[in-house]
Amino acid sequence: MPLSPCSIAFIGTGIMGSSMAKHLITNGHPLHVHNRTREKAEALLERGAIWHDTPESAANATDVVITMLGLPSDVEQVYFGKTAGGGVIEAAKSGSLLVDMTTSSPRLAERISIAARERNIEALDAPVSGGDVGARNRSLVVMVGGGDEAFHRGLPLLKLMGQSVTRLGPAGSGQRCKLSNQVAVAIGMVAWCEALAVAKASSLDPLVVQDVIRGGAAGSWGLTNLAPRALNEDFEPGFLVRHLVKDIRLAQEEADLQGLRLPGLEVAQKLYELLGKQGYGEAGTQVLFYHYETNRGAG
């Protein structure tokens, strides 16, 4: 059943969430917002969104709750609540739809689905790929886990934020697909950073090399969108280093459960964890290129 227009609570208006929520309010949906820091929601408030001091208040006032948070612990806090608020599952109205778009744990997604069902609430896990550029341009890839009825109920809203929306299976399936995506992202970041480091060390213009090789078999989203930022020493975040570290760890946990060893991902994990320890946790993931610049000749 179409959900246009419907009242939406959007919880988490950071780098990605603010752009995603903007598409919803622009398309006529009454928007209620909450974020840990109100200033990151100001642009939405100026467009007419209604501010709530707690996630529970926003959930109780709306038909659909969408979350775009940072860590699985944030998701658990918001949905299950460890404070007097009790969490959005308890606060949401019977018949509501909950959509978590955070990259999080598949098992947590399953827990949310079970707890929601007990209160006659539908739930989807719907993580996205495409970074800040995709969020702004409405070109995100949305990977969905959950029941077929809930999926079709939420599909019109998800299409307002993404160019591709696919249901992978039951609860947790969207998260499992996203973790597979992040394996490719993390290893791919290492690949193009090393390729351009070699080009620069060989006295080639790395911007020219980037433009040449992105048109061939080595082309990738990161090479096209992030490499120019790195080469111009622009390390502003489209996606935070600390969030990629989180995603890698989740992917490693999933691989361990399946009895898989991922040596390429282990290399990427070591590099990104090192960047975090060096103080680059809040930088964009393209800062990895800086690692090769600063460690040239270090043996």
Closest to 49 in 3D by CA, of 60, 229, 38, 81: 38
Catalytically annotated residues: 178
The segment(s) of the chain belonging to CATH 1.10.1040.10 are 176-294
pLDDT in 10s for each residue of the chain, 299 residues: 444 589 999 999 999 999 999 999 999 999 999 999 999 999 999 999 999 999 999 999 999 999 999 999 999 999 999 665 689 999 999 999 999 999 999 999 999 999 999 999 999 999 999 999 999 999 999 999 999 999 999 999 999 999 999 999 999 999 999 999 999 999 999 999 999 999 999 999 999 999 999 999 999 999 999 999 999 999 999 999 999 999 999 999 999 999 999 999 999 999 999 999 999 999 999 999 999 988 876 55
The CATH number of 176-294 is which of 3.30.420.40, 3.30.70.3270, 1.10.510.10, 1.10.1040.10? 1.10.1040.10
Neighbours of 256 (CB within 10 A): 11
The DSSP result for 100-152, as a single string, is: E-S---HHHHHHHHHHHHTTT-EEEE--EESHHHHHHHT-EEEEEES-HHHHH
CATH fourth-level superfamily of 8-170: NAD(P)-binding Rossmann-like Domain (3.40.50.720)
Q: Which pTM does this prediction carry? A: 0.93
The segment(s) of the chain belonging to CATH 3.40.50.720 are 8-170
* Tokens of residue 288, six digits: 């990895």
